[in-house]
Structure 1
Amino acid sequence: MYLIFFNLQEMPFSLTPNTEFYCALQPHNEALKVLLSALSMSEGFIKVTGEVGTGKTLICRKLINHLEDDYVVVYIPNSYLTPDELRWAVAAELGLTDDDKLNQQALSQAIEKRLLSLSQQGKKVVMIVDEAQCLSWDALEALRLFTNLETESKKLLQVVLFGQPELDLHLSNPRVRQLRQRIGFSYQLRPMTAAEVEYYIDHRLRRAGVDNKLFSTALCKRIAAASRGIPRLVNTLCHKTLLQAYGDGHTQLKTDYIKAAISDTEDCQRQNRWQRWWPLLVMTPALLAIAGIWLWRQAL
């Protein structure tokens, strides 16, 4: 595509979470530090929430890469599971039998036995659940029961939940208050600032092999405003901008390319429409109040 045209070694703005392109920005670094610290203290539940596209899955994969050999990771990328399916998924990640003739009680006992064996070997088991906002009430209860497994001195299983803000709403329900009380650490990912967006864009381009600054500060500010600082939207806009420039045969990026990319990205279009109308919406109550006072005085 435009790799050779811009002297790139690989695609800089792919939407696939790639830890090789991890950018050490404050919100992502803080989230990673919270996770590693909480895991070292053997907390039962740890929670990270953030809007769609803020980098939760990338941090999830970065965390897995950071964990040392004394950790065993049970990774659940698809949380839309029944309690029975969740137990089978955990069993598969722990390398247990796939004999589907086992009843749920026997399966739970096999999982507990495996966790105890790993603990005796000095291993820590961490279950990482991505898209945790999709967990049903029953699945959440099954997760809580997993963390009941413990020795006299420590938990046999720790659970890290990654989810959208809907996860917090889910956990606020009284029916899962027992699980909520077991969440020792939480972190909420925020969008990037304009300065962070510029650093993020430059970082990804450098990682892809470009030394010169393709996106000027002014262009980065436009992208930051349109994307609301959400990394996934930043990637989308930058990719479309490079495509536009490549199609025109220009290595110099123009404002028109950014505008076209924004117009072609639905989530950015909705934001732009709101930005155009919000001053009027804010001013309308004040104007009505002024008109009401004027009419009242005319009636006197």
Structure 2
Amino acid sequence: MYTAHFGLREAPFGITPDTSYFFTSPHSQEALNTLLVAARTGEGFIKITGEVGTGKTLLCRKFLATLGPDFVSAYIPNPYLEPRTLMLALADELDVVLDTEVDQHQLLKSITARLMELAAGGQRVLLCLDEAQAIPQVTLEALRLLTNLETEKKKLLQIVLFGQPELNRNLQADSIRQLAQRITFHYHLGPLTRDDLDFYLAHRLRVAGFTGARLFSRTAVRRLYWASGGIPRLVNIVAHKALMLAYGEGRQQVSDAHIVAAARDTIGAKRLAWPWLTAFGMVAAAGGGLAWVLAQ
């Protein structure tokens, strides 16, 4: 689409969590450090929370990719499961061979045997659950019981929960207060700051192959921050549309007008007001340009 026009190898602002685009802002680096330190302790639960679009899934994948060979990881992206189904998913992630009609006792016994086997080989097992705010309370309790599996020296399984802030409210329920007490490390992933945003844009453009001068004007960056609130997913969506608009007009730089039009076309982004009367015509023209580029 616009990649050749701007000298890019690929589109820089996709919303698929690609670890090559992981941006080490102070927030994300602190969160990653927290995960790595916590994983080394091997105790209890780890909890990472953040609003929608702040990069929890990307952080999770970066964390898993950073772990050394002494770790075995299991990743479940959709944990809205009953306890038995979740344990079957865990068994599958750990390559546990099960009979078709395995009962609950044999299921837990097989998982335990596999965890003991890995521990004997000097490997630690981490279970990462994305979208953890969706886990039913009865399944959370089952997870707590799984962490009871241990040798004389250490736990056989460590669990990392990645979820939206609703997860904190779910963990306040009396029925699972024992689980909440086992959360030994936690971190809340916030949005990008205004200063971070400039570096974030430059980082993604560089990874995508951009070698030119500033592609987003300074006023465009200010408006992009205001429109997105620093939420990386919204930044990516608005920036992508703004690049499409600049391409459609044959421009080599994204202006604040492009950001205004892109934000107006994006659900969740703040609608930007233009400071002078000619804005309506410019935004309307830019919006028409975006529709034309999308149609192409």
- Whether contact under 8 Å (1:74, 1:90) holds in the other structure is yes
Question: Which position in structure 1 is the counterpart of 2:166?
Answer: 166
Aligned ranges 1:287-298 → 2 under 5 Å? none
The residue type paired with residue 186 of structure 1 is H
Aligned ranges 1:103-142 → 2 under 5 Å? 103-142=103-142
Question: Which position in structure 1 is the counterpart of 2:255?
Answer: 254
1:71: how far off? 0.4
C-alpha distance in structure 2 between counterparts of 1:218 and 1:174, whole Å: 50
1:78: how far off? 1.0
1:272: how far off? 5.5
C-alpha distance in structure 2 between counterparts of 1:218 and 1:195, whole Å: 13
3-state SS in 1 of match to 2:216: coil
Question: Which position in structure 2 is the counterpart of 1:205?
Answer: 205
Q: Gaps (5+ residues) in structure 1?
A: 274-300
Determine whether 1:237 maps to 2:238: yes
C-alpha distance in structure 1 between counterparts of 2:106 and 2:253, whole Å: 65
3-state SS in 1 of match to 2:145: helix
Question: Which position in structure 2 is the counterpart of 1:228?
Answer: 229
C-alpha distance in structure 2 between counterparts of 1:222 and 1:96, whole Å: 52
- Whether contact under 8 Å (2:217, 2:256) holds in the other structure is no
- Whether contact under 8 Å (2:35, 2:46) holds in the other structure is yes
- Whether contact under 8 Å (1:245, 1:257) holds in the other structure is yes
For residues 76-117 of structure 1, give each alpha carbon's deviation from its aligned partner in whole angstroms, at most 9, with x where no partner exists.
111111101101001001101243310011100000111011
Runs of 4+ in 1 over 2 A off after TM superposition: none
3-state SS in 2 of match to 1:4: helix
Q: Which has the larger radius of gyration?
A: 1
C-alpha distance in structure 1 between counterparts of 2:268 and 2:98, whole Å: 43
The residue type paired with residue 104 of structure 2 is Q
The residue type paired with residue 237 of structure 1 is V
Determine whether 1:79 maps to 2:52: no
C-alpha distance in structure 1 between counterparts of 2:249 and 2:179, whole Å: 56
1:42: how far off? 1.1
C-alpha distance in structure 2 between counterparts of 1:206 and 1:22, whole Å: 12
Q: Give % identity.
A: 49
3-state SS in 1 of match to 2:210: coil
C-alpha distance in structure 1 between counterparts of 2:189 and 2:143, whole Å: 23
For residues 37-94 of structure 1, give each alpha carbon's deviation from its aligned partner in whole angstroms, at most 9, with x where no partner exists.
0111112100000000000000100011111111000111111111011010010011
- Whether contact under 8 Å (1:13, 1:239) holds in the other structure is yes
C-alpha distance in structure 1 between counterparts of 2:87 and 2:7, whole Å: 48
RMSD: 1.1
What TM-score, normalized by structure 1, do the two folds share?
0.89
C-alpha distance in structure 2 between counterparts of 1:110 and 1:246, whole Å: 57
C-alpha distance in structure 1 between counterparts of 2:222 and 2:146, whole Å: 46
Question: Which position in structure 2 is the counterpart of 1:28?
Answer: 28
Question: Which position in structure 1 is the counterpart of 2:264?
Answer: 263
3-state SS in 1 of match to 2:47: strand
C-alpha distance in structure 1 between counterparts of 2:5 and 2:272, whole Å: 31
C-alpha distance in structure 2 between counterparts of 1:242 and 1:7, whole Å: 12
Determine whether 1:95 maps to 2:70: no
- Whether contact under 8 Å (2:217, 2:253) holds in the other structure is no
Question: Which position in structure 2 is the counterpart of 1:57?
Answer: 57
C-alpha distance in structure 2 between counterparts of 1:31 and 1:119, whole Å: 26
The residue type paired with residue 262 of structure 1 is A
The residue type paired with residue 175 of structure 2 is R
- Whether contact under 8 Å (2:214, 2:253) holds in the other structure is no
- Whether contact under 8 Å (2:217, 2:255) holds in the other structure is no
What TM-score, normalized by structure 2, do the two folds share?
0.90
